[in-house]
Every structure is written in structure tokens, then in C-alpha cells.
Amino acid sequence: MFFDLFLTFFIAFAILFLMRKVARRVGLVDQPSGRKLHDGNIPLVGGISICITIVNYIYSHPGMINHADLYMFCICGLTLVGALDDRFDLSVKIRMIVQALISFAMIYFASVELHSLGDLFGLGTIELGGFGAVITVLAVIGCINAFNMVDGIDGLLGGLSMVTFASIGILLLLSGEQSLSYLCLLLVVCMVPYIVMNLGLTGRERKVFMGDAGSMMIGFTVIWLLIGASQAEGNPMIRSVTALWLIAVPLMDMSAIMIRRVKQGKSPFKPDRDHLHHVCQRLGFSSLQTLGLICLIASLFASVGILGEVLLIPEYIMFYSFVIIFIVYLGILINYCKVINFFRNKLGLPKKSYSSS
């Protein structure tokens, strides 16, 4: 197994080195702008490289995941559309339509669909019935965009993805699903070369970004695994409520940001600089400190989800706890200017003026 993982790591690294050169030739680069404060044109090939590595492995080991051909088709399609978006800046409508079509393909051809949400309210199991397909499509689109929107500083998307895939892998292993658990481990291994180059550890001139191609592929893979594991017939491998804790940071950040934008009369998809990582940086944390802090928070949330699953803590307790934490998070994000000034006063730092627009 060690040699297999090392080979996968090496292949992922080699593809990254190759693709960054291709990206520069075809113009698949991220240029500095008002919201993108980096130096030079950075190749957007992290997601493409990870997709190629994973598809190559699954093609050689098709038995490791059910409906392998469909899964590979879906992530390749999303990666292609994401790459086109990175290059030509596609409209939100086009991306949403593609994500919805991929969702319907997943439901129709693989029967990967939400049928039950479990006992979220302590009043009995919630069966979705005919609404299952609609809820599934919304869940897929939501998860894809949650991971897309959280990609704001170096290493963050990769770090949060590693936390999520590692957590899913642990739960699948505890359930005896060794094949899918190993796939999660492979995804974590594939993420390491990207993080190394994304953080500039191989030199700033070799820096790469994930791009929408990567965030879409990662988000879809996460929701495919979570729905498949939580909706398995007979004996689900994880409970639906546990999924909330495994993707807590991307999910809460996306939801809170969209609520805040709608409250301000803006489009929920309009980019801004009010995400959790922006707030952390305004508090005075460096990019690396912000990365470590947010990944630590995500790991703590995931640990709560794993413990809740292992200890069989009632689903409604896990759900209400999550809702309470989200309400606190939402309150902090909506009033982050006051929060920042409060902490600056406590730390004795000079006051600064922050705009909440």
C-alpha cells in the first residue's frame, strides 16, 4: 500500500509540473485584480491535475467505487466546465445548469439520491419521498459551491478538503468499507503536492492555484461519497446529520455569506472579501496563521461528527448543536466589524475603520 500511495503522490506531482506549463501556453492563469492580491499570473491547474490522477487510478482499479464510469464522467465534465470558467469566466447560470445536469445523471444512472434525512428533530425519521431528487440536486449544487466559495487564501481549499476526505475515510473504514476509505486516502495524498506548490514551498515561480475546476470536482466528490454512505440500503455507513459536521466550515461560510449578501440587497453569488478567512486576516492573523486556524476549526467540527457517529449520540442533539453553532457564526459574520474592533480593543491594538459593504 505504501508504494501505491507513493506512486500516486509522484504522479500527482509530475502532472502538476507538466500542466502548469501547458496552462501558461493556453492562458489558463489567474491574473491579479481587485480581489486577487497575488503576484504574477498563476496557473489554475490544481484541480485538473488531481482529476487526471484520480481518474487514472480508478480506471486501473474500477472496482474500488460503484458506478466508476459514471463517477469519472461526472468529475471530468465538472473539471472541464470549471477549467472553461477559469479561462473564459462563464456565467453563474451556465455553471448551475451543468451542476444540475450532473446531479440528475448521478440520480438517474447511479441511484445516488437522498431518501431520508434521519431523525433530525427528534420526532421520527424524515422521509423525503418524491422530494428526494430535488433535495439531492440542491445538496449537490450547494456542496460544490461551498467548496468553491471557500477557496480564498493559499492552501485553504486543499486543507479543508483533506480534513473532509480524511474524516469520511475514517468513518468508512470503521464501517468496514475499505475500498472507498482507500479512495479517500488517495484523494488526501493527491492534495499534498498541490498544497506544497500552492504555498510556494517549491519556489514562488512554481506556484499554482486550484481553480474552479478543482473546487467543483472536490465538492462533487464529497457529496457523492456522503450521499452514498448515508443512504445505503439496510445499514447506512454514516448518518445524514454527520455530513453537516464533516463539511461544517465550507457549508456555514457559504450559507452565512449568502444570507448576508441577500440582507444587503446584493446577489448571493456576488464575490466579496467578507469570508471567514478575510475576517481572520483583519483580526491580524497572517495567511499561514489563518490557514492553520481554520483547518483546526474544521478538524474540531469533523471530530465532533466522528465522535457523534461512533458514540451514537442522538441525531437531533447533533443537529440542534450544529444549528446553534451556525447561528453564532452567522451573527459574528454579519457583525464582523464590531467583532474585529472588540478584539482589537481587548488586545490593545489601534482601532481601524472597517466597511461592512
DSSP bridge pairs for 126:
118
178-198 vs 46-60: helix crossing angle, rounded to 10: 150
Q: What is the pTM of this model?
A: 0.93
Give, for all 357 residues of the chain, the pLDDT tens digit. 789 999 999 999 999 999 999 999 999 998 765 555 546 689 999 999 999 999 999 999 988 999 999 999 999 999 999 999 999 999 999 999 999 999 999 999 999 999 999 999 999 999 999 999 999 999 999 999 999 999 889 999 999 999 999 999 999 999 999 999 999 999 999 999 999 999 989 888 889 999 999 999 999 999 999 999 999 877 789 999 999 999 999 999 999 888 888 888 887 877 777 788 888 888 788 999 999 999 999 999 999 999 999 999 999 999 999 999 999 998 888 777 777 777 767 666 565 555 444
End-to-end CA distance of the chain: 51
> Exposure of 152 by Cβ count < 10 A (0-12 exposed, 13-18 middle, 19+ buried)?
buried
**Measured distance CA(177)–CA(229) in Å, rounded:** 9
For 136-192, the DSSP string reads HHHHHHHHHHHHHHT--STTHHHHHHHHHHHHHHHHHHHTT-HHHHHHHHHHHHHHH
Q: What is the CA radius of gyration of the chain?
A: 20
How much is the pLDDT for 334?
Answer: 77
How much is the pLDDT for 254?
Answer: 92
> Which among 75, 48, 43 has a CA at the least distance from the CA of 59?
75
Residues 119, 234: contact at Cβ < 8 Å? no
Residues 223, 41: contact at Cβ < 8 Å? no
Residue 33: how many other CB atoms lie within 10 Å: 9
DSSP bridge pairs for 118:
126
Residue 231 makes CB contacts below 8 A (sequence gap 6+) with 112, 113, 114, 115, 116, 240
How much is the pLDDT for 35?
Answer: 52
How much is the pLDDT for 347?
Answer: 66
How much is the pLDDT for 338?
Answer: 74
Let me know the angle formed at the C-alpha of 169 by 20 and 11, rounded to the nearest 5 degrees. 25
How much is the pLDDT for 352?
Answer: 59
Q: Domains of the chain: which residue ranges?
A: 2-346
